[in-house]
Amino acid sequence: MTAGNEDELARLVGELTESTLALAALAAALRHHDSGVVLDDRHGRVLAAIGLAAPAADGWRLTPAAASVAGRAGREYAARFTATLRWAAAAAEGRVDWAEQDPGTTAALGRGSSTAGRLFVEVLAPRLGDLAERLAAADAAALDVGTGVGEIAVALAEAAPSLHVVGIDVLDDVLAVARARVAERGLADRVVLRHQDVATLADVEAFDLAYLPAYFVPEDAVLAALRRIRAALRPGGWILVPVRERAGSELSRVVTSWQHPGCAVWTAQVTERRLLGAGFGDVHSIVVSALAPTIVAGSRRPVPGGR
């Protein structure tokens, strides 16, 4: 390697390192932010360098855009960014797959996803036919595929007080963490956890909502499961599939593929085609926030005279 090439590598490594630590600084600010928080000088200068803080009479404060996010869901985003950093550290040590993560990292990743359950009930459901009314019914039920440590299942149950949730996963260690979390939140009567591969799902017309994080599930299992999930939905029920993509970002695509080897890392367009091919109707993509994954939604069309 020539000196010129080494200089270019050093520049790139420096930029990536600085970006990593800037994300850590943002996570710390979001975790502890409230309307009266003033950042110390060192912290404020870091965030100011990336356009997320500005000097004020009494110190440094988050910009209005960052403060808005912090006020709405600061701890949830902080948990997500912290989980990303922990996963990155594990990947640097050669542990990329979900199944290879230590309990602390899987718990952090779970906490980082917990806001999704509330978002499904409070933000997405009112935009998807009569799903909001369904989730409020006494017999409402949801399926959480790849439930992991159970954070989304718990968040769904807490956001919809009459909702029963079935969470499935193939990893015993994360299911043990999930069971403890469900018990801790007093939800054992409404959240059931199964050791099950989604490709073997045999429920029929049992759920109003199904959540399928396809990029965490092997592609062959997802392809085998889509029609099973459709059969498991009640007529008029919905499937939600998150998609991690940033338009025009090749780096985002290849990093996601590296993080999720062999999994269904599909674009929104491909996901829509897969859902249509499995018989879902009204398939469309929803962008809730630039900070959150795109959600591809599809319904199981009601049958005449059915629910």
What SS3 state is found at 60? strand
* Strand-by-strand arrangement of the 141-145 sheet: 191-195, 164-169, 141-145, 207-211, 233-243, 294-299, 281-286
**Residue pair 178/167 in contact by the 8 Å Cβ criterion:** yes
Contacts 24+ apart (CB under 8 A), 74-77: 74/30, 74/31, 74/33, 75/30, 75/31, 76/112, 76/114, 76/115, 77/27, 77/30, 77/115, 77/291
| Predicted confidence (pLDDT) per residue in 217-270, tens digit | 889 999 999 999 999 999 999 999 999 765 556 777 788 778 888 889 898 999
**Residue pair 110/148 in contact by the 8 Å Cβ criterion:** yes
CB atoms inside a 10 Å sphere around CB 145: 26
**Residue pair 294/287 in contact by the 8 Å Cβ criterion:** yes
Burial of 265 (0-12, 13-18, 19+ CB in 10 A): buried
Sign of CA pseudo-dihedral 255, 111, 224, 133: negative
d(CA 281, CA 236): 10
Confidence of residue 67 (pLDDT cuts 50, 70, 90): confident
Q: What are phi and psi of 177, to 5 degrees?
A: -65, -40
Q: Where do the domains of the chain lie? A: 3-94, 103-299
- Work out whether strand 164-169 and strand 141-145 pair parallel, antiparallel, or are unpaired: parallel
- Work out whether strand 294-299 and strand 281-286 pair parallel, antiparallel, or are unpaired: antiparallel
What contacts 204, CB < 8 A, 6 or more positions away? 231, 232
d(CA 112, CA 184): 18
- The residue length of the chain stands at 307
- Longest CA pairwise span in the chain (Å): 75
State residue 303's pLDDT score.
47
d(CA 48, CA 16): 18
State residue 306's pLDDT score.
42
The CATH classification number of 103-299 equals: 3.40.50.150
> What are residue 281's DSSP bridge partners?
299
| The token pair that represents 280 in the structure block | 């879902």
| Predicted confidence (pLDDT) per residue in 137-188, tens digit | 999 999 999 998 899 999 999 999 999 999 999 989 889 989 999 999 999 9
Amino acid at 79: A
> What are residue 158's DSSP bridge partners?
none
How much of the chain is in helix, strand and coil states, percent to nearest 5?
55, 20, 30
Instruction: Tell me the whole-structure pTM to 2 decimals.
Output: 0.80
What contacts 21, CB < 8 A, 6 or more positions away? 46
d(CA 196, CA 183): 20
- Per-residue pLDDT averaged across 46-60, rounded? 87
What SS3 state is found at 248? coil
**Residue pair 268/247 in contact by the 8 Å Cβ criterion:** no
Q: What are phi and psi of 167, to 5 degrees?
A: -110, 130
| Predicted confidence (pLDDT) per residue in 74-123, tens digit | 877 888 788 889 888 888 888 877 667 777 766 666 666 667 888 899 99
